[in-house]
Amino acid sequence: MQVFETAERSDALSVLTPYLIPPGSDKVPNLGDGFILRAIERHLGKFPSGASFSSRCVPSDAQKLVLMRSPGIILAGTNQLNDDFAPWPGMQSDEIRVQPYVFVPMGIGIHGELERNSQMSAATTEILELIHERIRFSSWRCPRTVAYLRRSIPRLAANFLMTGCPTIYDGPLLDSSRFNSGQDIVAVTATERGDFWDRESRTIEFVARKYPRAEKWLVVHQDYSVKRRSWLKGRILRALNKSADALHAYAVRRGFTVHTPRSVDEGLWLYRKADMHFGSRLHAHLTVLSQNKRSYLTKVDERSTGISEHFEFPLCDPARFEDVLDFDFERVRQAALRTFPVMQAFIESIGRSTC
Q: Cα(77)–Cα(141) distance, rounded to whole angstroms?
A: 8
- DSSP three-state, residue 186: strand
* Helices of type H across the chain: 31-44, 61-69, 93-98, 122-132, 143-152, 171-175, 197-210, 225-230, 235-253, 264-273, 282-290, 305-311, 330-349
Q: Where are the chain's structural domains?
A: 14-166+339-349, 180-328
Residue type, 87: P
pLDDT digits (tens, 9 = 90+) for 153-170: 999 999 999 999 999 999
- Strand 215-219 and strand 256-259: the pairing is parallel
CA pair distance 203, 278, nearest whole angstrom: 7
Which pLDDT band holds residue 198 (cuts at 50, 70, 90)? very high
| pLDDT(236) > 60 | no
Flag whether pLDDT at 281 surpasses 70. Answer: yes
Pick the CATH number of 180-328 from 3.90.550.10, 3.40.50.2000, 3.40.50.1970, 3.30.360.10: 3.40.50.2000
Cα separations in angstroms, 223 against 32, 35, 91, 220, 263? 12, 16, 29, 6, 12
Alpha carbon distance 244, 283 (integer Å): 19
Q: Are 3 and 101 in contact (CB under 8 A)?
A: no
First-residue to last-residue Cα distance in the chain: 40
Return the SS3 of 118. coil
Residues of the chain above pLDDT 90, percent: 84
pLDDT at 302 over 70: yes
- Give the global pTM: 0.93
Question: β-strand 73-76 against 52-54: which pairing, if any?
Answer: unpaired
Whole-angstrom distance, CA of residue 186 vs CA of residue 267: 14
Q: Tens digits of per-residue pLDDT, 244-257?
A: 999 999 999 999 99
- Whether residue 226 is predicted with pLDDT greater than 90 in this model: the reply is no
DSSP secondary structure code for residue 180 in this structure? B
The reported pLDDT for the residue numbered 231 is 47
CA distances from 263 to 29, 85, 268 (A): 10, 28, 9
Q: Letter for the amino acid at 59?
A: P
Q: By mean pLDDT, which of 43-52, 108-117, 122-131, 217-226 is the weakest?
A: 108-117
Cβ neighbourhood burial of 150 (10 Å; 0-12, 13-18, 19+): middle
Amino acid at 314: P
Are the C-beta atoms of 224 and 192 separated by less than 8 Å?
yes
What letters, b where the CB count within 10 A reaches 16 and e where it falls short, cover 116-149? ebeebeeebbbbbebbbeebebbbbbbebbbbbb
